[in-house]
Chains A and B, each alone.
Chain A
């Protein structure tokens, strides 16, 4: 933290002393001023909530779908062999390239954006939860079956908990991609949200606002990571006690 303060102080001093122009790298105080101003007039709040709602909606939709399908494909060989070619075909397509297609199908409103984010979040979650199920130690399944576990109990008490570490990894990647997709989609085709604010700043050559937006985006990224870490600690306490790792 101390190093951070030093960096900020040096940065501020460099701009103020005129050592170089604040045009391409505004002083920290200038950035803070912009943030304060945009918060006060409510614009930042509007953009922020637009971005967060698209992110939350898309992430929830995409990762839930990916989780369900991933667990099913991990369990059922037939499903896995049937769908693997389809997944392999679609997965490599950059999701942002699918966005125009989504606009054609769903219009220019919120739906196409949320679905675009969901598509981004879907694949990492699918692949990781599938791997999670397949990596369960067969001994655990033997013990559960021998104890008389039915399929439902097998899922609830063995397959799902055993897959949680990989599911969390999937969630981390999904959240990452979802956030990227949200900003990307907003830059391309939205009138609200941090991505559109980013693009507008560029268009109007408001560099200080550009940096301010980036700061907010970075803060959300950090918050998202922390949230997932917290979720991991809640759902997988055995990984965080003493010698466990998360």
Chain B
């Protein structure tokens, strides 16, 4: 079998059938002051994301990938640079699309209210938002837990609720900050395929931050490799795998690309651990 070359990303047609929104990250910088003087968290980061694309950002801890995501989400102001969203109300495309690693559910709300929360903030009436949330939960197999509280669910199920909220809120752009980082490997595998299954039905635009190299390649159309101190995009790799992804068939390609990415990151990770 021919070894696929590592392909750099190039401009290609977007998926017209999807419901996602695109954006362009332009020269985004983020500085802050610390005891050791000025720290550059992000250094002129620029990249574009096409509508309905699934882009993964992978990098070592502390490289700034979460900061970048939060800037895109509008939670943090960049020190310079900007995010250019498509469409006239582009910035609203991030509304409701944030998924976090832990504590992504409100403990004082039922599972149903949690999933309906995005719609609630958008002003959707109670009956309708509960109906839509209940429909999602039923299709996801969580229908029996609608009236439960999050602490009664396992960690993995709580993550499913958090992801469910983002999908039900109908955000065109989903921003996921290591959503599977706190889970054990088996739960992670199960949720990865579940995420791809749900995503393929709506084809939202997704920016997925992770430290797991193989996960990034498995899930993404493109992988942005980030290095830190200061945070920069080192490489923009296109994943040459068809969808739907199938673990056994695609394993060789995934292994190849992840080996390449690791050569980019290994140095930084080792030095951060003081391994010489």
CB–CB A142/B100 < 8 A: yes
CB–CB B98/A238 < 8 A: no
Closest chain A CB from B219 CB (angstroms) = 21
Note all chain A residues with C-beta closer than 8 A to B148: 241
CA distance A243 to B107 in the complex (A): 13
Among B100, B118, B151, B152, the residue within 8 A (CB) of A147 is B118
CB–CB A161/B96 < 8 A: no
A137 close to chain B: CB less than 8 A = yes
CB–CB A143/B169 < 8 A: no
Residues in B167-214 with C-beta less than 8 Å from chain A: 169, 175
CA distance A162 to B108 in the complex (A): 7
A109 close to chain B: CB less than 8 A = no
Q: What per-residue 1/0 map shows which CB atoms of A149-191 lie under 8 Å from chain B?
A: 1000100011001101000000000000000000000000000
CB–CB A140/B117 < 8 A: no
CB–CB A158/B106 < 8 A: yes
Residues in A15-52 with C-beta less than 8 Å from chain B: none
Note all chain A residues with C-beta closer than 8 A to B97: 146
Note all chain B residues with C-beta closer than 8 A to A203: none
CB–CB A139/B152 < 8 A: no
Q: Which residue of B lies closest to A139 (CB)?
A: B103
B268 close to chain A: CB less than 8 A = no
CB–CB A146/B75 < 8 A: yes
A145 close to chain B: CB less than 8 A = yes
A244 close to chain B: CB less than 8 A = yes
CA distance A164 to B109 in the complex (A): 13
CB–CB B121/A148 < 8 A: yes
Q: What per-residue 1/0 map shows which CB atoms of B235-268 lie under 8 Å from chain A?
A: 0000000000000000000000000000000000
CA distance A140 to B98 in the complex (A): 11
Closest chain B CB from A158 CB (angstroms) = 7
CB–CB B96/A147 < 8 A: yes
Among B94, B103, B108, the residue within 8 A (CB) of A236 is B108
Among A139, A236, A238, the residue within 8 A (CB) of B104 is A139
Closest chain A CB from B125 CB (angstroms) = 15
Closest chain A CB from B81 CB (angstroms) = 20
A224 close to chain B: CB less than 8 A = no
A144 close to chain B: CB less than 8 A = yes
Closest chain B CB from A118 CB (angstroms) = 29
Closest chain A CB from B159 CB (angstroms) = 13
CA distance A153 to B122 in the complex (A): 11
CB–CB A146/B108 < 8 A: no
Residues of B in contact, count (CB < 8 Å): 29
Residues in B145-169 with C-beta less than 8 Å from chain A: 148-149, 151-152, 169
Q: What per-residue 1/0 map shows which CB atoms of B104-123 lie under 8 Å from chain A?
A: 10111100000001101110
CA distance A162 to B107 in the complex (A): 8
Closest chain A CB from B250 CB (angstroms) = 32
CA distance A242 to B11 in the complex (A): 53
CA distance A161 to B149 in the complex (A): 14
Note all chain B residues with C-beta closer than 8 A to A243: 151-152
B74 close to chain A: CB less than 8 A = yes
Note all chain A residues with C-beta closer than 8 A to B106: 140, 143, 157-158, 161-162
Note all chain A residues with C-beta closer than 8 A to B103: 137, 139-140
Note all chain B residues with C-beta closer than 8 A to A137: 103
| CB-CB under 8 A for A143 and B107, given A148-B121, A243-B152 | no
Note all chain B residues with C-beta closer than 8 A to A244: 149, 151
Closest chain A CB from B66 CB (angstroms) = 11
Note all chain B residues with C-beta closer than 8 A to A145: 75
B28 close to chain A: CB less than 8 A = no
CA distance A146 to B176 in the complex (A): 12
B50 close to chain A: CB less than 8 A = no
CB–CB B100/A139 < 8 A: yes
| CB-CB under 8 A for A241 and B152, given A142-B75, A149-B121 | yes
Most buried by A among B70, B74, B118: B118
Q: A146-B74, A238-B149 are in contact. List 8 more A-B contacts (CB 8 A).
A: A142-B70, A147-B98, A147-B122, A153-B121, A157-B109, A161-B108, A237-B149, A241-B148
Q: Write 21 A-B pairs (CB below 8 A) sorted by A numbering.
A: A137-B103, A139-B100, A139-B103, A142-B70, A142-B75, A143-B100, A144-B121, A145-B75, A146-B75, A146-B94, A146-B96, A146-B98, A146-B175, A147-B95, A147-B96, A147-B122, A149-B121, A161-B106, A238-B107, A241-B149, A244-B149
Chain A interface residues (CB < 8 Å from chain B): 137, 139-140, 142-149, 153, 157-158, 161-162, 164, 236-238, 241-244
The 10 lowest CB-CB distance pairs between A and B, nearest first, are A146-B98, A161-B108, A147-B121, A238-B149, A148-B121, A139-B103, A147-B96, A147-B118, A148-B95, A149-B121
